[in-house]
Chain A
Amino acid sequence: MTQEIKLEEIFQSRIDNGEKIEPKDWMPEKYRKTHIRQISQHAHSEIVGMLPEGNWITRAPSLKRKCCLLAKVQDEAGHGLYLYSAAETLGITRDEMTEQLLSGKAKYSSIFNYPTLSWADIGAIGWLVDGAAIINQVMLTRTSFGPYARAMVRICKEESFHQRQGYEIMLGLAQGTQAQKDMAQDALNRFWWPSLMMFGPRDEDSPNTAQSMKWKIKRKTNDELRQQFIDITAPQADYLGLTIPDPALKWNEERGHYDYGEIDWEEFWQVVKGNGPCNKERIDARQKAWDDGEWVRDAAMAYANKKAANRNESKTGS
């Protein structure tokens, strides 16, 4: 018991000193569990996030845009891959994590439960959703768990590329015909509020924040990050000539920040609970890929085993 307390003290002081915790190091069980949960949910978000954007690959309006979108969605698969690997260092397998996603035990970012209804949504997602993700993830590049922090460094570079690409799509639309401008405005109208929800509940409704700060999973609160996002994004919308769908949005000279209107937290919790517009479609799509892929994964395994057996045989034979 005292031994355990001592270990925890040493552990915390390592984090306080800015040391990275590596998978083989001693860590409190709660630290391990929290990281498995957070990293796997982050990985699931990357993978589920492929679906709304993938929805427009076959209909992309030009060859160049199609290639950019394919490359982007492929990057997200790569992000999922690094993150699953980072979580695996804590003693869980990718298959177990997948099962948790499919059973609903593990969550993913709610933003991906909204549909992509026009090409402009691809621009809006890159601009707003990747933009919001970067704000969270830049913070995570300095988190205490080494594999997670390192994955984030790699991922953040690509996310900022996605963000610029998304903004560039929006810019093209904003400078285009009236139909294109309308499409862009409509996408902003639908994605603005869900993007703000990506930072999670208000600070007073976010009981884990203190512990997360201690472990450096978080360095700023949800509301601080949300404010940062709004402050960056509002002038960008102005530059595009688009209107953010919030009449209360206004620069506050005194605070040095934008004021903004109340988020619909009822909607937020409904989507988290599985009642968003596309929750079922997203999980069904992942379930189908998983089920359809089963015989393929089995075949690959059987083939690898045969090859290994052949190699062993030829070794003992010689």
Chain B
Amino acid sequence: MKDQLYKYLLLLGDNSMILGHRLSELCGHGPNLETDIALTNISLDLFGQVRSYFKYAATLKEGETEDSIAFLRFERDYYNTILVEQPNKDFAHVIVRQFLFDAYHKPLLEQLMNSKDETISAIAHKSIKESKYHLRFSSEWVKRLGDGTEISHQKTQNAFNTLMPYIEELFIETPLELAMKNEGIGADLNLVKASFDKTMSDVLPSANIETSDIKLRKTNGKSGFHSEYLGFILTELQYMQRAYPDMSW
């Protein structure tokens, strides 16, 4: 049980961390100052959540700290989904990746608020406000780009074509998630999916985005099978901890 809870916390934290990392790459490079600030804000919120999850996880396993958990695992031991690893190809990809994640993350947190695990519930209570704001931000931008100019529409549709295929794994229950759900600790992904679908049907028509033809892809980042991007992300993320082991900063 303790082992499973530990892994579940990593799964929750890793999605936030890898997405937070991708957003942090953009800091100082946004299309204008306002969006630069907003995206950095989202990154900061996500890293704040990561710290809460990993601090808690560190109490469950001898010898671990939030930083050893964040920085000192091998690639296969990260449990984030493939969606959040996808690169910042352009601003449309950044927004669409965020929107798809937020549409999943918000209902996930809503359920975790009722988790039998008090710490998870407390983290979810704190994070839900942030997640609602993120979803509002990303939905607004999906509409703005989808219904802006011909070019922005095309770029946004392209981003959905590229990124939407990765949503499938968000809702496929792994044995770990099943066990956590049965314990009353984890979320029910069917309910998360229902909410996700509703967000899509609320937002996409006003953005003139068409997704019915998009084929979903079989991916399994949640079990540690990643895209080629993750290795490079970890190379940067872990650089200091690997190059200067056992030091405090």
Residues of A within 8 A of B (CB): 47, 50-51, 54, 57-67, 70-71, 73-74, 77-78, 80-81, 84, 119, 169, 172, 176-177, 179-180, 285, 288-289, 292-300, 302-303, 306
Residue in contact with B27 in the complex, picked from A70, A292, A306, CB distance below 8 Å: A70
With contact pairs A58-B21, A58-B24, A60-B240 given, residues A289 and B66 touching in the complex (Cβ less than 8 Å): no
Per-residue CB contact flags for chain B residues 213-249 toward chain A (1 = under 8 Å, else 0) read: 0000000000000000000000011011100100111
Per-residue CB contact flags for chain B residues 37-61 toward chain A (1 = under 8 Å, else 0) read: 1001101100110110010000000
Sorted nearest first, the 5 A-B pairs with minimum C-beta distance are: A293-B31, A299-B148, A299-B152, A61-B240, A50-B28
A65 to B244, CA, bound (A): 15
Interface size class of B (residues with CB under 8 A): 35 or more
Q: Could you jot down 9 A-B contacts, CB within 8 Å?
A: A47-B28, A54-B27, A59-B237, A67-B44, A67-B48, A70-B43, A74-B40, A77-B36, A296-B152
Q: Which residues of A contact B144 (CB under 8 A)?
A: 299-300, 303
Q: Which of B12-44 contact A (CB under 8 A)?
A: 21, 24-25, 27-37, 40-41, 43-44
Q: Which residues of B contact A303 (CB under 8 A)?
A: 143-145, 147-148
A84 to B36, CA, bound (A): 15
B90 on the A face (CB < 8 A): yes
A126 to B43, CA, bound (A): 21
Chain A's interface: helix, strand, loop or mixed, by majority?
Answer: helix
A70 to B46, CA, bound (A): 12
Residues of B within 8 A of A (CB): 21, 24-25, 27-37, 40-41, 43-44, 47-48, 50-51, 54, 66-67, 70-71, 90-91, 143-145, 147-149, 151-152, 155, 236-237, 239-241, 244, 247-249
Our count of residue pairs bridging A and B at CB distance below 8 angstroms stands at 134
A297 to B149, CA, bound (A): 10
Q: Which residues of B contact A62 (CB under 8 A)?
A: 67, 71, 241, 249
Q: Check A179 against B244 for contact (C-beta < 8 Å).
A: yes
Q: Which residues of A contact B51 (CB under 8 A)?
A: 63-64, 67
Q: B23 to chain A: closest CB distance in Å?
A: 9
A60 to B71, CA, bound (A): 10
Q: Which residues of A contact B239 (CB under 8 A)?
A: 59
**8 more CB-based (< 8 A) A-B contacts, given A63-B47, A66-B47, A295-B151:** A50-B28, A59-B236, A67-B51, A70-B27, A73-B40, A77-B33, A285-B28, A295-B152
With contact pairs A61-B249, A63-B67 given, residues A54 and B28 touching in the complex (Cβ less than 8 Å): yes
Q: Check A298 against B31 for contact (C-beta < 8 Å).
A: no
Q: A150 to chain B: closest CB distance in Å?
A: 19
With contact pairs A73-B28, A300-B144, A302-B149 given, residues A47 and B33 touching in the complex (Cβ less than 8 Å): yes
With contact pairs A51-B28, A58-B236, A70-B24 given, residues A296 and B47 touching in the complex (Cβ less than 8 Å): no
Q: What is the chain B residue whose CB lies nearest that of A81?
A: B33
Residue in contact with A63 in the complex, picked from B33, B66, B151, B155, CB distance below 8 Å: B66
Q: Which residues of A contact B249 (CB under 8 A)?
A: 61-62, 64-65, 119, 169, 172
Q: Which residues of B contact A57 (CB under 8 A)?
A: 24-25, 27
Q: B207 to chain A: closest CB distance in Å?
A: 10
Q: Check A297 against B28 for contact (C-beta < 8 Å).
A: no
Q: B245 to chain A: closest CB distance in Å?
A: 10
Q: Check A289 against B148 for contact (C-beta < 8 Å).
A: no
A57 to B39, CA, bound (A): 14
Q: B168 to chain A: closest CB distance in Å?
A: 28
A78 to B25, CA, bound (A): 18
Q: Check B28 against A61 for contact (C-beta < 8 Å).
A: no
Q: A87 to chain B: closest CB distance in Å?
A: 13
Q: Check A58 against B247 for contact (C-beta < 8 Å).
A: no
